[in-house]
Chains A and B, each alone.
Chain A
Amino acid sequence: MEWEVVIGLEVHVQLATQSKLFSGASTQFGAAPNTQACAIDLAMPGTLPVPNEEAFRFAVMFGLAMNAEIGRRSVFERKNYFYPDLPKGYQTTQLAEPIVGPGEIEIHLEDGSSKKVRLHHAHLEEDAGKSLHEDFHGMSGIDLNRAGTPLIEIVSEPDLRSAAEAVAYLKKLHSIVTYLGISDGDMSQGSMRCDANVSVRLKGEQELGTRTEIKNVNSFRFVERAIKVEAERQIDLLEDGGTVIQETRLYDSDKNETRSMRSKEVANDYRYFPCPDLLPVELSADYIEKLRGELPELPDAKSARFASDYGLSAYDADQLTQERATADYFETVAKSSAEPKLAANWVMGELAALLNREELSIGQSPVTAGQLAGLIARIKDNTISSKIAKQVFEAMANGEGDADTVIEQRGLKQVSDTGAIEKMIDEVIANSAKQVENYRNADEAKRPKMMGYFVGQVMKASKGQANPQMINEILKAKLDALL
């Protein structure tokens, strides 16, 4: 039997507003517990919510980037349930009239193909606080700093057909929200959280299978693994004649398995109703059009432009544009060095490796775009070879200054002095009688390959600093003269 996996994602994105959705308290991450919760966030009696204009602006920008309909009128509702980290006893969210309606985006897959994924809707809502269950000896601590932080919940249609597609979609969302600057997208800090609805059906079947919801998976890798194991679990269950129960499950990354959460929640009735403290928000067409005009260049458009302006392959252009900071970095290097291909190779090669090794984001890169451009300029003007350039790059990463300083201080300047190179070549030939003999006796066709030995020796003698092109030319002339 051939199975098809059907996935829909609900993604919560924390908006990078200065203050909370309904209060003036700061949204800064990492402050001491309960220092960023004002009377409104604490749901003190008599306090009232006032909507944050910036959150609306961000949500509309997101909707426009998703090619979605914008809710000209949106309504906040109360979702009622008791939990200690939910101070009002209800979450203010949107249901019947969300700010962002249906839309569609394209995702790019590793095999080079692409696919359209439909957006069901996205709505604005407030985040809850955090319950802390450690360090309190039989009690729980509550931190309300996060309570009231604005989120958009992005709900896709069940259009995704594999864990890889789900991750590609999630990465696309990540890329869009960070391009727009409406979220830092930092999954480790919970700025982006994902719930996955997973079901399976026999290939060709029209009807959807019973789905389970995997809650709160907080990294791209875990999303991929969680969906894979959950789909396998469902397929095994069905193949053994069992049935899938509609329920909420948790992904345990240590055991790489999903587990049923006690399904008391299924019986929950949230008793939604429009929040009477907040009037419906009406957005004018002018407001929306103004924001449309202010949208930055988005990843797809940037990728296409990089490919055509800089002569990059579609794959490279896509890689470079996934993160706005990377794209900006690349573009600075490409423009100031006027060597876009070299720039692309360095950004995706040495720089990516360095950042990966040091676990840094591109914003934290110890080598600035200007420094990298300076390095590329020295490769281009033959001051150093590509090989030496890697050394210089490492030195720059260690804070030894820009390329020229490193080259100067370490004496790495490429030797292009004919006399010096000839002298080194003469010494190598004098010390390599056997290899010279072999060279002379070899077939004409084999000789170029045999040159490698001599080049290597000269390089070694010059500590890698001799101009490789000159070595080749002079060496060939000298060896051929011995024939």
Chain B
Amino acid sequence: MHQLTIAEIIRGLREREFSSVEITRQLLTRIEQLDGDLNSFISVTAESALRQAESADQRLAAGDAPALCGVPIAHKDIFCTRGTRTSCGSKMLDNFVPPYDAHVVEQLQAAGIVSLGKTNMDEFAMGSSNETSYYGPVRNPWNPGHVPGGSSGGSAAAVAAQLVPGATATDTGGSIRQPAALTGTTGLKPTYGRVSRWGMIAFASSLDQGGPIARTAEDVAYLLSAMAGHDPRDSTSLNRPVPDFTATLGDDIRGLRIGVPKEYFSEGLNPDAAARVQDALKEYERLGAELVEISLPHTHLAVPAYYVIAPAEASANLSRFDGVRYGYRCENPADLRDLYMRSRGEGFGEEVKRRILVGAYALSAGYYDAYYNKAQQVRRLIKQDFVQAFGQVDVIMGPTAPNPAFRLNEKTDDPVAMYLEDIYTISANLAGLPAMSLPCGQVNGLPVGLQVIGNYLDEARMLNVAHQYQQATDWHRASAPFAQTAGEQ
């Protein structure tokens, strides 16, 4: 049953082929048996999952089941869950149990999902390999010596290992798309403001956006339809109608104009990965789409601008973790200064501290104009590049990440090499555009992701574009070796 997609589970539950309790129990058993090696979960909430599954079965039997009734998924541990520890991958929040649910959690609950637990992540979503987590690294189900990407590495790995059919995730600079690419899953970062940030622990507020990871575009469409929506508690939430994203999955894509930015195929891109992406583009041509070479001339400035803006916002967002009201507090503080310094010094990991320092520096008197203001100017230029491009094309395609999954510890001593992992994903966050990744091939047994960037609020078209490719190809059906061997249990 663990191979089933969300669409298949919905069908199976409605047709009484199995119950929500049955599939929930099976996945919980799988998690118990396999996740010790994978480490994709921080918390497993078996008891409440079974209770939710029972009530879902009752609703299914009574015939008043909402869209995703009884479908088991997991939440990235960045989303606050009432009564369940929400750590954000940090020692700082190891003891933090929120008294409220994130909007995303509420929305999915209302849609009837069953939550199996909270997935591992880079600490405060700061990382591209899931190695900065206080709870240890997550392993890639395609090769346990490799990373699953990050920061939503736990969600991506759990989906790829078929521990859950789908999971929530967040993306500030590529944290949904890059792990999706590295684990052969499909993930979508919506338009900024599509999904409420209420209850989603902030990394960089102007860039953060929640979204789903699953195994198919269709499943992503199911999850996104439930997650998206206006929320008055988030001032940046868009008050726009949310379509049923599954409704347009059959649309014809003949005549679709696909922009291919030349800057996305320059040096630094693994040539084998580039070949898989080119293959995917050829497949689209076969499906009737037209490829248009475009230029996004400020692409090379995206990473430097991002690494000013994101740390600047983070430096303020993380000030609330001071050991005073909740979270980690050092032992026996001598005075207030000692309380602050040791609580934060001991509670935060290296990468988080590095980014707080970078951000505070960029905002300092005398540097603000040179760094923060300049980065904001660059951000506007990058947005302009896209606005111009979408004058000519319907979607933009290219690689999601420059390389397939790298080895554990390969880049931990070289932050800049790690930051360059997000070179193709960061621009969409800076511009606030929706972007997704779907598997389009493999290099040495490791998946490669195709990135699709859409125009504002154009998620429905993007999902259909991805779905049409998945109707014509099998890359999304390839299952990770870890999932296969384990599947025999």
Residues of chain A having any CB pair with chain B under 8 Å: 39, 42-51, 78, 80, 82, 84, 87-90, 140, 142, 269, 271-273, 276-279
Which residues does chain B contribute within 8 Å of A277, judged by CB atoms?
Answer: 202, 205, 235-236
Asked, given contacts A277-B205, A278-B235, A279-B236, whether A45 binds B96 with beta carbons under 8 Å apart, the answer is yes
CA distance A42 to B200 in the complex (A): 16
Nearest-Cβ distance from residue B314 to partner chain A, whole angstroms: 10
Identify B326's interface contact among A44, A49, A78, A278, CB under 8 A. Answer: A44
Identify B198's interface contact among A42, A47, A82, CB under 8 A. Answer: A47
Which residues does chain B contribute within 8 Å of A46, judged by CB atoms?
Answer: 79-80, 86, 98, 100, 102, 197-202
Q: How many contacts A-B (CB < 8 Å)?
A: 102
Nearest-Cβ distance from residue B340 to partner chain A, whole angstroms: 6
Please state if B93 and A45 are interface contacts (CB–CB under 8 Å).
yes
Identify A89's interface contact among B102, B319, B365, CB under 8 A. Answer: B319
Which residues does chain A contribute within 8 Å of B199, judged by CB atoms?
Answer: 46-47
Asked, given contacts A269-B364, A277-B205, whether A43 binds B320 with beta carbons under 8 Å apart, the answer is yes
Q: Which of B355-384 contact A (CB under 8 A)?
A: 360, 363-365, 368, 372
Identify B320's interface contact among A45, A140, A271, A272, CB under 8 A. Answer: A45
CA distance A46 to B125 in the complex (A): 13
Q: Which of B75-110 contact A (CB under 8 A)?
A: 79-80, 86, 88, 93, 96, 98-100, 102
Please state if B316 and A90 are interface contacts (CB–CB under 8 Å).
yes
Identify B325's interface contact among A48, A87, A276, CB under 8 A. Answer: A87
Subset of 5 A-B contacts with CB under 8 Å: A46-B102, A50-B234, A80-B315, A89-B319, A269-B364
Nearest-Cβ distance from residue A127 to partner chain B, whole angstroms: 17
Asked, given contacts A46-B200, A51-B235, whether A276 binds B313 with beta carbons under 8 Å apart, the answer is yes
Please state if A273 and B319 are interface contacts (CB–CB under 8 Å).
no
Which residues does chain A contribute within 8 Å of B197, judged by CB atoms?
Answer: 46, 48
Asked, given contacts A89-B322, A278-B235, whether A273 binds B312 with beta carbons under 8 Å apart, the answer is yes
Please state if B312 and A39 are interface contacts (CB–CB under 8 Å).
no
Asked, given contacts A89-B316, A278-B235, whether A45 binds B325 with beta carbons under 8 Å apart, the answer is no
Which residues does chain B contribute within 8 Å of A80, judged by CB atoms?
Answer: 315-316, 319, 360, 363
Please state if A39 and B99 are interface contacts (CB–CB under 8 Å).
yes
With both beta carbons as reference points, the residue of chain A lying nearest to B319 in the complex is identified as A89
Asked, given contacts A269-B364, A277-B236, whether A48 binds B320 with beta carbons under 8 Å apart, the answer is no
Nearest-Cβ distance from residue B326 to partner chain A, whole angstroms: 7
Please state if A48 and B88 are interface contacts (CB–CB under 8 Å).
no
Asked, given contacts A82-B322, A273-B316, whether A48 binds B98 with beta carbons under 8 Å apart, the answer is no
Nearest-Cβ distance from residue B394 to partner chain A, whole angstroms: 28
With both beta carbons as reference points, the residue of chain A lying nearest to B365 in the complex is identified as A269
Please state if B100 and A39 are interface contacts (CB–CB under 8 Å).
yes
CA distance A84 to B324 in the complex (A): 7
Which residues does chain B contribute within 8 Å of A82, judged by CB atoms?
Answer: 319, 322, 340
CA distance A394 to B473 in the complex (A): 97
Nearest-Cβ distance from residue A34 to partner chain B, whole angstroms: 10
Nearest 6 interchain pairs by C-beta:
A89-B319, A276-B205, A276-B206, A271-B363, A43-B320, A46-B199
Nearest-Cβ distance from residue B197 to partner chain A, whole angstroms: 6
With both beta carbons as reference points, the residue of chain B lying nearest to A76 in the complex is identified as B235
Which residues does chain B contribute within 8 Å of A278, judged by CB atoms?
Answer: 235
CA distance A158 to B205 in the complex (A): 38
CA distance A42 to B325 in the complex (A): 8
Known contacts A46-B202, A48-B235; can you find 19 more A-B pairs with CB under 8 A? Answer: A42-B325, A45-B88, A46-B199, A48-B234, A50-B232, A50-B234, A50-B235, A78-B316, A82-B319, A89-B318, A89-B319, A89-B322, A271-B315, A271-B363, A271-B365, A272-B363, A276-B205, A276-B236, A277-B236
CA distance A88 to B197 in the complex (A): 17
Which residues does chain A contribute within 8 Å of B79, judged by CB atoms?
Answer: 46
Which residues does chain B contribute within 8 Å of A47, judged by CB atoms?
Answer: 100, 198-199
- CB of B227 within 8 Å of the partner chain: no
- CB of B336 within 8 Å of the partner chain: yes
Which residues does chain A contribute within 8 Å of B364, judged by CB atoms?
Answer: 269, 271
Which residues does chain B contribute within 8 Å of A51, judged by CB atoms?
Answer: 235
Which residues does chain A contribute within 8 Å of B182, judged by CB atoms?
Answer: none
With both beta carbons as reference points, the residue of chain A lying nearest to B336 in the complex is identified as A84
CA distance A89 to B340 in the complex (A): 11
Nearest-Cβ distance from residue A315 to partner chain B, whole angstroms: 50
Which residues does chain A contribute within 8 Å of B365, judged by CB atoms?
Answer: 269, 271
- CB of B23 within 8 Å of the partner chain: no
Which residues does chain B contribute within 8 Å of A49, judged by CB atoms?
Answer: 235
Please state if B316 and A45 are interface contacts (CB–CB under 8 Å).
no
Please state if A273 and B236 are interface contacts (CB–CB under 8 Å).
no
Which residues does chain A contribute within 8 Å of B80, judged by CB atoms?
Answer: 45-46
CA distance A90 to B204 in the complex (A): 15
Which residues does chain B contribute within 8 Å of A140, judged by CB atoms?
Answer: 336
Which residues does chain A contribute within 8 Å of B234, judged by CB atoms?
Answer: 48, 50
With both beta carbons as reference points, the residue of chain A lying nearest to B359 in the complex is identified as A271
With both beta carbons as reference points, the residue of chain A lying nearest to B309 in the complex is identified as A276
Which residues does chain A contribute within 8 Å of B202, judged by CB atoms?
Answer: 45-46, 277
Asked, given contacts A44-B98, A45-B86, A45-B93, whether A279 binds B340 with beta carbons under 8 Å apart, the answer is no
CA distance A87 to B236 in the complex (A): 22
- CB of B233 within 8 Å of the partner chain: yes
Which residues does chain B contribute within 8 Å of A44, judged by CB atoms?
Answer: 98-100, 325-326
Which residues does chain B contribute within 8 Å of A279, judged by CB atoms?
Answer: 235-236
CA distance A278 to B262 in the complex (A): 36
Which residues does chain B contribute within 8 Å of A48, judged by CB atoms?
Answer: 197-198, 233-235
Q: Mark B251-265, 1 if CB is under 8 A from A, else 0.
A: 000000000000000
Please state if B372 and A45 are interface contacts (CB–CB under 8 Å).
no
Which residues does chain A contribute within 8 Å of B321, judged by CB atoms?
Answer: 45
CA distance A278 to B206 in the complex (A): 9
Asked, given contacts A45-B96, A277-B236, A279-B235, whether A89 binds B205 with beta carbons under 8 Å apart, the answer is no
Please state if B98 and A45 are interface contacts (CB–CB under 8 Å).
yes
CA distance A87 to B321 in the complex (A): 9
